[in-house]
Amino acid sequence: MVRVGSVIVRVTVLAGGIGGARFLGGVRAALADEADAEITAIVNTGDDVTMHGLRICPDLDSIMYTLGGASDTERGWGRQGETWRIKEQLALYGAEPTWFGLGDLDISTHLVRTRMLDAGYPLSDVTAALCDRWKPGVRLLPMTDDRCETHVVVDGENGNRRAIHFQEWWVRYRAEIPAYAFVQVGLESAQAAPGVLEAILEADVLLLAPSNPVVSIGTILAVPGVRDAIIQRTGPVIGLSPIIGGAPVRGMADSCLPVIGVEVSAQAVAAHYGARSAGGLLDGWLIHDTDTAAVDGIAVRAVPLYMTDDEASAAMVQAALDLAESTRA
Ligand code: GDP
Ligand code: CA
């Protein structure tokens, strides 16, 4: 049961896919008894990609399926009970790319999304329509309705460099080929989706999920207006470390941080986000209880940060709300 002095009504979370989804499960659980609670997730869309003519939004879908109770928790992504017959058939046609796993159940989501986008609906409306089915209990906002996709600069032929789509680097090459930079194609001219800046400015508490600081949170922060809104808001901003003991708990965030010159540690990620009092983003930072971190202007607290289930994630959220309350005082 959440009570943090004043009543927490509006909580906004910046989130990527799997880390974001697990964390949001905790936010929803922590605020389950608050009838007035409004939870908004601003979700990274830099991983979005078009494959076989279908528009795919991996992070939005991870959150939607997880909160809708339909995700495959063992595999870690996609739908429970998924089958792969269409993928097999595409491979028999020799239809590239063959390295991206599109499941039969999942494809129905991409068909509906693509059809609505082709008919002219913005991604934010499409997302709301898809959520009508899954009832995630959280308002999901794509960071932008504009198409902007993260690319990765890698070695090309004859000593040149080339940029490949983030999904190709991540899924096909498992982030194992050297990366020199991340480039968000189209981001400078993108606009925050309707409601995004308001959700940042007006939330009682803004939380940075323990998502990938570079290609999830970093991409959202790069949407024009988002960083300024965070700096301008009056209420607290609390981040949770995605790094425990110098390693990401799940996934390959350790292959992204060095590309932007940030060490893989809870301390370095906090310093990278920076203190709001010094022009950065954070008032508070939660680290795992075996880690240490100290950054001027950021209140640091150590608690268990393993998101093993909704209960564990909810305890993290409660700790973040408590820390938020203490930074107000
Ligand atoms: P993606 O878009 O699917 O890659 O997911 P996110 O960007 O939302 O989250 C991925 C990050 O979540 C990983 O890089 C991990 O560092 C972090 N993460 C995953 N599980 C846990 C956990 O149990 N605890 C913490 N603190 N971080 C986690
Ligand atoms: Ca992602």
177 and 65 assigned to the same domain: no
Instruction: Say if 316 falls within a structural domain.
Output: yes
- What's the average model confidence in pLDDT over 42-65? 98
CA–CA dist 185, 146 (Å, integer): 11
Instruction: Say if 66 falls within a structural domain.
Output: yes
230 and 286 assigned to the same domain: yes
- Residue pair 89/102 in contact by the 8 Å Cβ criterion: no
Instruction: Say if 88 falls within a structural domain.
Output: no
pLDDT tens, 21-49? 999 999 999 999 998 999 999 999 999 99
Instruction: Say if 105 falls within a structural domain.
Output: no
Ligand 1 atom nearest 212 alpha carbon: 7
- What's the average model confidence in pLDDT over 182-189? 95
pLDDT tens, 287-312? 999 999 999 999 999 999 999 999 99
> Ligand 2 centre and the CA of 215: distance in Å?
7
Burial grade of 100 (CB within 10 A; 0-12, 13-18, 19 or more): middle
Is the predicted pLDDT of residue 244 greater than 70, yes or no? yes
Tell me what pLDDT residue 309 has.
95
DSSP 8-state code for residue 241: -
Tell me what pLDDT residue 250 has.
83
**Which of the ligands is closest to the CA of residue 49?**
2
Q: What is the dihedral of CA 20, 22, 28, 31, to 10 degrees?
A: -100
Ligand 1 atom nearest 305 alpha carbon: 26
pLDDT tens, 197-227? 999 999 999 999 999 999 999 999 999 999 9
> Ligand 2 centre and the CA of 224: distance in Å?
20
Tell me what pLDDT residue 5 has.
52
pTM here is 0.96
183 and 321 assigned to the same domain: no
- The pLDDT-based confidence of 15 (bands split at 50, 70, 90) is very high
Is the predicted pLDDT of residue 257 greater than 70, yes or no? yes
23 is in which domain, residue-wise? 2-70+137-144+191-328
198 and 64 assigned to the same domain: yes
pLDDT tens, 306-329? 999 999 999 999 999 999 999 987
Tell me what pLDDT residue 186 has.
94
232 and 311 assigned to the same domain: yes
20 and 44 assigned to the same domain: yes
51 and 162 assigned to the same domain: no
233 and 254 assigned to the same domain: yes
Instruction: Say if 250 falls within a structural domain.
Output: yes
- Taking CB atoms and a 6 Å cutoff, what residues make up the pocket around ligand 1? 15-20, 59, 62, 210-212, 216, 241-244, 248-251, 253, 305-307
Instruction: Say if 112 falls within a structural domain.
Output: no
Instruction: Say if 205 falls within a structural domain.
Output: yes
Is the predicted pLDDT of residue 1 greater than 50, yes or no? no
**Which of the ligands is closest to the CA of residue 211?**
1
309 and 198 assigned to the same domain: yes
Q: Whose alpha carbon is nearest atom 12 of ligand 1?
A: 19
62 and 198 assigned to the same domain: yes
CA–CA dist 47, 63 (Å, integer): 14
> Ligand 1 centre and the CA of 313: distance in Å?
12
153 and 256 assigned to the same domain: no
Is the predicted pLDDT of residue 99 greater than 90, yes or no? yes
